Structure 1
Amino acid sequence: MELMDKVSTGEALSRSRRQYELAMNGQWESLKRFYKDSDEFEVLGQMTTKNDTVLHVAGLAGRKDVLDFLISLIEDKDALIVENNRGNTPLHEVAASGNLDAAKLLVEYHGALVEIKNHLGETPFYRAAAFGHTNLVQYLANRVGDDKEQHFQRNDQLSILHIAVLGQHFGLSFSLSFSPKPS
C-alpha cells in the first residue's frame, strides 16, 4: 500500500513539475496561462511533497491576483478548505505571507476558513500573529466567530502572545497583551 502511495505521489509531482517551476521562478502570468484551460482537479492537485496545491503556493507568495484567477476556476468553493500535510489551508499560507488583500479575497469566498485549525492547532489568526502581520491580525480578529479563545492557543498550549514575543514582534505582542479578554 505504501508503495502505491509513493507511486501516485510521484506521478502527481511529475505532472505538476512545470507549474511548480513557474511558481518558484515568479512566472505568475505563465502559471495563470497554464491553468487557464485546466479543470478543478488540476487546480486542487498536489504540487509539492507536502501536498501543497497551487492555491497554497500562491497563498504563501501572497499573490492575490493568482488566487483570484485560480478561485474563478473552482466551482465548489468548499474546495478552498483543501489542506496540505501540515493541515494548512490556503488562508493559513496567506496568513504567513501577510497579504491582507489575499486574505480578504479568501475570506470573501469562504468565511469558514478563519476557524480552521492546522495540525498544530493554529488558526490563520494565530499564524498571522506568529509572523507579526499586525494589519492581518486586526482584520482576522474581526472575522473570527464568538469563540475567540480558540484562536489564542495552539495544541501545545503556546499562546498567541508567546508566539508573537518569540517571533520578536513586540509591537504586536504589546497590543495582544492589552486586547480585551474573550467573554
Structure 2
Amino acid sequence: MQIDLSDKACRRSQAYRAVSGGRSLEMLRDFWREEGVTPLDNRGDTILHFLATHGNVAGFKILDPNLSIKDLEIRNNSEDTPLHEAGRFGKKNVVEMILRIEKNLVFVKNKLGETPLYVAAASGEKDVFATLANWDFSEEMLDHHLGHQMQSILKRFGGVVYDDVGDSLV
C-alpha cells in the first residue's frame, strides 16, 4: 500500500496544531496510534518532544496509558529526550509527569553530555531544576550519575539544593 506523502504531512501538521494549541486531543491520540515516536521535523523531534516543549499536560495524559519508558527515552538529533525539552522550557508539570513514569530519565545525557537537570539550570529554570534535583534521589545517586555537572549547577544557582525536610542534598 502506497502512502500519500501530502496526506502524511497534513496529519503531522494537524498533530502539531493539536499539541501547540491543546485542542483536538482525539486527533492527537489517533496520530500517536499511527505514528508513535516517528520524528516530525528536521531536528528529529517527536510528538512527545513537542508536547514537552509546549507543556501540554493534557496531551501527555491522553497518551499516558500507552506510554512506555522506551517511548520517553526517545531522542532527537541532539539526543535530547522529552524531559530535556520540558526542563529547557520550564514545563514543571510535564517534568513531574515524566518523572512519575521513569525517574531515571533525569540522568540521560544528550550529545553535549548534558542531563535534563543541567539543561534546566543552564536555561535559568529554577523551579524545574529544584523539582528535578529533589525528586526522590539520594545524595549518592546524584553524585554517582551527575558528578561534575552538579558542581557546575550549584555554582550557577549559588547555593545548595535541599530535600523536603531541609537537609542538603549536595
The two structures have a TM-score, normalised by structure 2, of 0.75
Two-structure CA RMSD over aligned residues (Å): 3.1
- Which residue is equivalent to 1:6? none
Shift of 1:18: 3.0
Give the one of 3, 12, 17 matched to 1:16. Answer: 12
Give a deviation string over 1:32-80, Cα, whole Å, max 9, x none: 2212334545131111111101110110112222222223333x33221
Alignment coverage as a number of residue pairs: 157
The amino acid of 1:37's aligned partner reads D
The alignment status of 1:29 with 2:13, answered yes or no, reads no
Change (3 A) 1:16 1:65: same
- Which residue is equivalent to 2:52? 59
Shift of 1:152: 5.5
Where does structure 2 lack aligned partners over 5 or more consecutive residues? 162-166
Q: Secondary structure at the match of 1:79?
A: helix
How far apart in 1 are the matches of 2:169 and 2:32? Answer: 45
Give the one of 134, 137, 140 matched to 1:142. Answer: 134
Q: Secondary structure at the match of 2:114?
A: coil
Give the one of 73, 86, 89 matched to 1:81. Answer: 73
- Which residue is equivalent to 2:164? none
Q: Secondary structure at the match of 2:23?
A: helix
Give the one of 147, 151, 157 matched to 2:146. Answer: 151
The amino acid of 1:35's aligned partner reads L
The two structures have a TM-score, normalised by structure 1, of 0.70
How far apart in 2 are the matches of 1:71 and 1:43? Answer: 12
Q: Is the 8 A contact 1:17 1:47 kept in 2?
A: no
The amino acid of 1:175's aligned partner reads G
Q: Secondary structure at the match of 1:29?
A: coil
Give the one of 83, 98, 103 matched to 1:91. Answer: 83
Give a deviation string over 1:129-183, Cα, whole Å, max 9, x none: 11112122112112356342443646xxx93356x4xxxxxxxx22259x9685x
Where does structure 1 lack aligned partners over 5 or more consecutive residues? 1-9, 165-172
The amino acid of 1:78's aligned partner reads K
Q: Secondary structure at the match of 2:30?
A: coil
- Which residue is equivalent to 1:121? 113
Change (3 A) 1:93 1:152: farther
- Which residue is equivalent to 1:42? 35
Q: Is the 8 A contact 1:95 1:103 kept in 2?
A: yes
- Which residue is equivalent to 2:104? 112
